[in-house]
Amino acid sequence: MIIPVRCFSCGKVIGDKWEPFARRVNAGEDPKEVLDDLGLDRYCCRRMML
């Protein structure tokens, strides 16, 4: 899957967070908790990961 380097809406860098997000969600963690831990607070950035 190709993940964008930046959020389309606000421009925050999110490309470096994809690998940890995918690894932790595949390990069974709740996506909400993982996004919170990675510092993705804006809903525009969160939707890019989901």
pLDDT score, position 23: 97
pLDDT score, position 2: 84
pTM reported for the whole predicted model: 0.86
Sorted by where each begins, the domain ranges of the chain are: 15-49
The alpha-helical segments, DSSP class H, found in the chain are 18-26, 31-37, 43-49
Right CATH for 15-49 from 3.30.300.30, 2.30.38.10, 1.10.10.60, 3.40.50.720:
1.10.10.60
pLDDT score, position 1: 72
How confident is the prediction along the chain (50 residues), in pLDDT tens digits per residue?
788 899 999 999 999 999 999 999 999 999 999 999 999 999 999 999 98
